Chain A
Amino acid sequence: MAVKGLPASWRKIPQRYNLIGDECKTCGERFFPPVTICPNCRRTGSLERYKFSGEGEIFSYTVVRAAQEGFDFQIPYFLGIIKLKEGPLVISQIVDSDPEEIDIGKKVKTVFRKVREDGSDGVIRYGYKFILDR
C-alpha cells in the first residue's frame, strides 16, 4: 500500500466529517457521496450541497472477520449498508452496539470516529460510523 499524502483526505473532510452530499434541484434526488453530475438529469441537473441528518436504518450488514491491511486490529467488526432517512444508501461500520440487536430495519444514527491510521507515525483519518439509535 502506497504512503499517502494529505490532500486526498483533506478534500473529503466535508463529506466524511459532516455527511454532506448533494441534492439535485431539478429531479429532487439526494446523493451521498457527492456527485459531480446528476446521473438522472445530467447537464440539465442543478446540484446543491446537502447536509444529511445522519439518521437511517440498517439495509444489510455483515461481520468482517478477515480484514484488509490496516484493519486487522479491529476484527471482528460490523459493517452495514445504511439507508439514510433522506434516501441514499451508504456503507459504514456499525459500532458500540449490542451485536444481538443488529438487524435489517433497525434504526441507526451517525457518530464521529477514527476510521484508520497509516501506521504508528502516519495520518489518522476520521469519518462517520453508525450506532444503533434507541
Chain B
Amino acid sequence: MRKVAIVGIGITKFGELWEMSYRSLAAEAGLKAVEDAGLSGDEIDALYGGTMTPGLFTDGQEHGGPLLADAAGLTGIPSTRIEAACASGGAALRQAYISVGSGINDIVVAGGVEKMTDVLTPSATFALMGAGDQKWEGFYGVTFPALYAMMARRHMYEYGTTEEQMALVAVKNHANGSKNSNTQYPFKVTLDQVMNSTPIADPIKLLDCSPITDGAAAVILASEDKAKELTDTPIYIESSGMATDTLALHDRKSLSRTDAAIKAGKDAYKLAGITHNDVDLAEVHDCFTIAEILAIEALGFCNIGEGGKFTEEGETEMGGKIPVNTSGGLKAKGHPVGATGIAQAVEITEQLRGEAKARQVDGAEIALTHNVGGSGATCVVHIFKRRN
C-alpha cells in the first residue's frame, strides 16, 4: 500500500431539502470537493459512491455507479455504488482508499448521498429496516429504534446505564452541532427536553434519535505524490478497518457490545501503529444516543459498560479527554445514511487542517471515524493524521 491523502472535501447542507433531488445533492457535494482540491473533472480516475437505497427512498432508481458519475458530469470513468446500509459512506471511503493505495488509480472521489424525505416516514422506516434482517426482524414489526432500544435496555440492565446518561449524548452533540452551519438541527437541547421528548421505542425517545435527512458529502483521495502537488495540507488516511457481525441483532454474542466495531477498531489501530490513547478526536456513529455509548466503549476510549458514566463526566465533550462528534454527530447534523461515513471524514479533515472554526479541537493531529451499518452488522473505522 502506498500512502493516501484527502486533498479535497465537499458537503451540502443537511436537512429536509425539498428543493434538492438525489442527483443535485450528489453533484453539489462532488463539485465542491473537486473545487476544494483545485482539480478539474478530467483528472479524476474513478468514483466510489456510498448510498443505501435510492430505490426505496425515491422513485425506484438504482444503478448508482453511472447515476452518480452522470450527475457529477464525470460520465466515462469507472464508478461503483457501494452499499453497506448506514455504513455505505465509510465502505465507499475504504474502497477508494484501497483503490489509490493499490496504485490502480491516482485520484479518486469517495462520495455519499441519500435523499430520504421524498417518501413518507412509515416508508422510510421500512426502507431503513433493510439495514437489519427483514425476514427475521422486520417481518415481526421490528424498527431500528426498537433494535437500539433493546440494546439500550440490555446495557442498562447489565451496567446500570441510565436514560439520563444517554440523553446527555444528545445534549452534547446538539451543543456541538449548534456551531456547525451545515447541521440539520443547529440548536442546543436541554436534558429535560430530551427526557421529556416523545417516546419512540422505550427507553428511546425522539431526541435520542438521529433524524431522517437529505444530504451528500464527497472527499477526493490522492496518492502521496499527487497530494503534495495539490495541497499544503494533505490529510493522510493512516488505516482502514472493517468488520461484520450477524445481520440480525438476536444472533449476536452480546446485545450490549458491538463486536464488529471492536474488531474494526483494533485492526485500524494496529495498521496505523497507534492506540486509542493517541486519538485526539473522533466522529462516531450516534444514530441513537446509546450507539455513541457503545461506540466509545468499542473503540477503547473507556471500558466496556462505562460509556454512560464517561459521557456524564464530560470526557467526550469539547475539552474532555476525547472530544466525540464535534460536528454535532448524526444526532444534530442529520443522518442521510449513505452520506454519513463521508460526512464524518469531511469533519475530521476540517479539524486536522485546523479549519473547524468554533468547533476546532486545538492541536488535533490524529483522528478517527467510526461508521456503523444496521444494528452493528457492519463497522468501518478509519484513522487520519495530519503531517507537518
Contacts and interface: CB of A to CB of B under 8 A. Distances in A.
A60 B125 contact: no
Nearest to B60: A2
Contact of A127 (B121, B140, B146): B140
B5 to A, nearest CB: 39
A65 B200 contact: yes
A54 B203 CA distance: 27
A66 B125 CA distance: 9
A131 interface: no
Nearest to A12: B135
A111 interface: no
B153 A77 contact: no
B250 A81 contact: yes
Interface string B132-166: 00011111111101100111011001000000000
A107 B150 CA distance: 17
Contact of B141 (A1, A74, A90): A74
A125 interface: yes
Contact of B154 (A60, A66, A129): A60
B250 A66 contact: no
A1 B140 contact: no
B149 A62 contact: yes
Interface string B45-88: 00000000000000000000000000000000000000000000
A79 B146 contact: yes
Contacts of A72: 122
A115 interface: yes
B250 A68 contact: no
Contacts of B204: 62
Interface residues of A, number: 34
Contacts of B126: 1, 68-70
B230 interface: no
Interface in B212-239: none
B140 A66 contact: no
B155 to A, nearest CB: 10
Contact of B142 (A33, A59, A79, A127): A79
Contact of B139 (A67, A77, A127): A127
Contacts of A116: 139, 141
A112 interface: no
Tell me if A's interface is mostly helix, strand, loop or mixed.
strand
A90 B123 contact: no
A89 B251 contact: yes
A60 B122 contact: no
Interface residues of B, number: 35
Contacts of B143: 64, 66-68
Nearest to B124: A68
A61 B153 contact: yes
A33 B129 contact: no
B41 interface: no
B346 interface: no
Contacts of A60: 150-151, 153-154, 157, 255
Interface string A76-95: 01011100000011111100
Nearest to B246: A39
Contacts of B320: none
A104 interface: yes
B221 to A, nearest CB: 35
B248 interface: yes
Interface in B316-355: none
B38 interface: no
B103 interface: no
A71 B145 CA distance: 14
The 9 A-B residue pairs with the shortest CB-CB distance in the complex, in nearest-first order = A62-B149, A69-B122, A60-B150, A89-B250, A68-B125, A71-B141, A68-B126, A63-B202, A62-B201
Interface of A: 1, 12, 33, 59-72, 74, 77, 79-81, 88-93, 104, 115-116, 125, 127, 129
21 contacts: A59-B255, A62-B204, A63-B202, A64-B141, A64-B142, A66-B201, A67-B125, A67-B143, A68-B122, A68-B143, A69-B125, A71-B141, A77-B141, A79-B140, A79-B142, A81-B150, A81-B255, A90-B136, A91-B136, A91-B140, A104-B153
